[in-house]
Structure 1
Amino acid sequence: MGQIVDVIDLSRSFGGKRALDGVSFHAAAGQVYGLVGANGAGKTTLLKHLLGLLRAATGSVRVFDLDPVRDPVGVLSRAGYLSEERELPEWMRVDELMRYTQAFHPTWDAAYARALLESFALDPAKKVKELSKGMRAQAALIAAVAHRPALLVLDEPSSGLDAVVRRDILDAIVRTVADDGRTVIFSSHLLDEVERMSDHVTLMHQGRVMLSGVLDDVRRGYQRSRVRFVEHFEQPPVLETALAMEGGGRTWSVVHSGSLEQFHHSVLARGGEVVDSRDATLEEIFLARAGRSRQPVEAA
């Protein structure tokens, strides 16, 4: 698979605030990449650098082996972008928006655009300013994907879409792009959506990449275990490889990384036993790594 995106040690500040801090990110063809993080984590700032909307202050950004700032036509002609703001010309009708967008893309697939309009039940004669938030999101999504871009960049694509559209149509579009050998990069605060749709996940927190990898590998690297102790603990007991704990007294639920055997030994040394374990969900990993557990573990 060819490399589509190469970001190396990218940093960016706005008014003295560090939005990106030494971020490296890579994307290959035929894969779906999910960016996870709270508001202000740096996801949108990273995506805007990929499209040449922001210039790298330090580090480097290459898309299709091009600098997106120096060669915007070379990058944008092969990329589709859905922004979180859904900025569309208010005065246009939906069909005019499609023709307008088509003029910039020789690869525009008119039949695919019509099929998507029908799937979303969008009225081509309606003006953009008359569309609801959800309809506006649907129109913007069609404009982003109908020219079948080699790289599809989606910033919070589910914003404004109801659950049925999110799960059925959005999932189908994203999967079709990847199955065609093209690349999708999307950011979302909906962790179940990222877990459902992504091949690869990158967790960002306060402008930094906290973890990044193939989704299945990331999940296998973290477990959630239920632990029972003989002793009663008022505060979370310190355990090796534990990232976050919830519970109280003798029974605790622990999100931990590393070897399950190592964790078992640590629990045993504190007079406890592991009752059961399973792979942690992406949401549990995110909350543990971002330090948002309700009862954080004391430093060892």
Structure 2
Amino acid sequence: MSDSFPSAAPPIVELHRITRHFGRKVALDDVSLTIPRGGVFGLIGGNGAGKTTLIKHVLGLFKAQSGTVRVFGLDPIENAVGVLGRIGYLSEERDLPDWMRVSELIRYTQAFYPAWDPRYAEELREAFDLDPLTKVRNLSRGQRARAGLLVALAHRPDLLVLDEPSSGLDPVVRRDILGAIIRTIAEEGRTVLFSSHLLDEVERVADRVAMIHQGRILMSASMDEIHDTHRRVTLRFEGPLPAAPSLVGSLSASGQGAEWTYLCGGESLQLRRAAEALGAKVVDEAALSLDEVFLNRVSR
């Protein structure tokens, strides 16, 4: 990703204290989130965590029961035309009209977007190997995902929203989708909101990440910050111990005897000083994966 992302421009999405109930179920619980302009913003969480509900507020499909939503500085419900005309959207369901041919789908979608780029649409169709004469109903799951991504990208949206775009797809199709995301960002400096429970994919493409669990935001930070402040540290003590001593910033610990491994939140220097205070020597240290960070945050 370019070092210029995210830009210093006003944020593209601002959610302030959003709460949403479905009967007795709390889908979003006092959620505040800012998505900066430029780059890929990953929204991660398990099934039922609130990712799709949050996205539907951004798209103006749900009205906030409390709190405010601003996209491009506008309310997406009161200014639906001004907001949705600048958003490209691909959902997990990939709900496309089955009776249309691929060429008809492209022409049909083009009518809704004055900024549609026919040449770019054709480039995407060829890159995604979509036969213009094939009906949508006859497309494979992977081809259907590619067709949905084509019509989401071809008007060069300021904000591309992908809700579990690679769910259930084979690795080749998932690679194509991620490749299209990267090209869109690298070449045009636009913004992607990428929701997924596949944390390894998010880690590969995201500049920033927000973790959501049971309708609450656990943390929101840049990938660099997450890697810098979440470490796996193995300590060797002078003698065997029956249990892991308490370490500042520790999320979990495992081991035995004189050697214990901690998963920690904190800067490397801070953790080393804490280890020294315990009379321990750091024998190994590495950044945690996004998956490890998320699982430990959720367990806490």
TM-score, normalised by the number of residues in structure 2: 0.90
Distance 2:107 2:17 in 1: 39
Q: How does 1:129-278 map to 2 (within 5 A)?
A: 129-167=137-175, 169-179=176-186, 180-229=188-237, 230-233=239-242, 236-268=244-276, 272-278=280-286
Q: CA deviation at 1:87?
A: 0.9
Letter in 2 for 1:116: L
Q: Which runs of 5+ in 1 are unaligned?
A: 293-300
Deviates more, 1:219-228 or 1:245-254: 245-254
Q: What CA deviation, in whole Å up to 9, does each residue of 1:27-60 have, x standing for no partner?
A: 2222210111111111111111000011101110
Partner of 2:78, secondary structure, is coil
Distance 1:209 1:114 in 2: 39
Corresponding residue of 1:25? 33
| Correspondence for 2:43 among 35, 43, 49 | 35
Q: CA deviation at 1:249?
A: 4.3
Q: CA deviation at 1:271?
A: 5.4
| Correspondence for 1:96 among 92, 104, 111 | 104
| Correspondence for 1:13 among 21, 25, 47 | 21
Q: CA deviation at 1:10?
A: 0.9
Distance 2:299 2:12 in 1: 32
Partner of 1:192, secondary structure, is helix
Partner of 1:253, secondary structure, is strand
Distance 1:117 1:252 in 2: 53
Letter in 2 for 1:166: R
TM-score, normalised by the number of residues in structure 1: 0.90
Corresponding residue of 2:136? 128
Distance 2:258 2:65 in 1: 51
Q: What CA deviation, in whole Å up to 9, does each residue of 1:125-158 have, x standing for no partner?
A: 1111111111111111111111111110000111
Partner of 2:63, secondary structure, is coil
> Could you tell me the percent identity over the aligned residues?
52
- Whether the 8 Å contact between 2:146 and 2:177 is mirrored in structure 1 is no
Partner of 1:290, secondary structure, is helix
Q: CA deviation at 1:166?
A: 2.4
Corresponding residue of 2:70? 62
Corresponding residue of 1:45? 53
Q: Which runs of 5+ in 2 are unaligned?
A: 1-8
- Whether the 8 Å contact between 2:240 and 2:256 is mirrored in structure 1 is no
Q: CA deviation at 1:265?
A: 4.6
- Whether the 8 Å contact between 2:142 and 2:173 is mirrored in structure 1 is no
- Whether the 8 Å contact between 1:11 and 1:57 is mirrored in structure 2 is yes
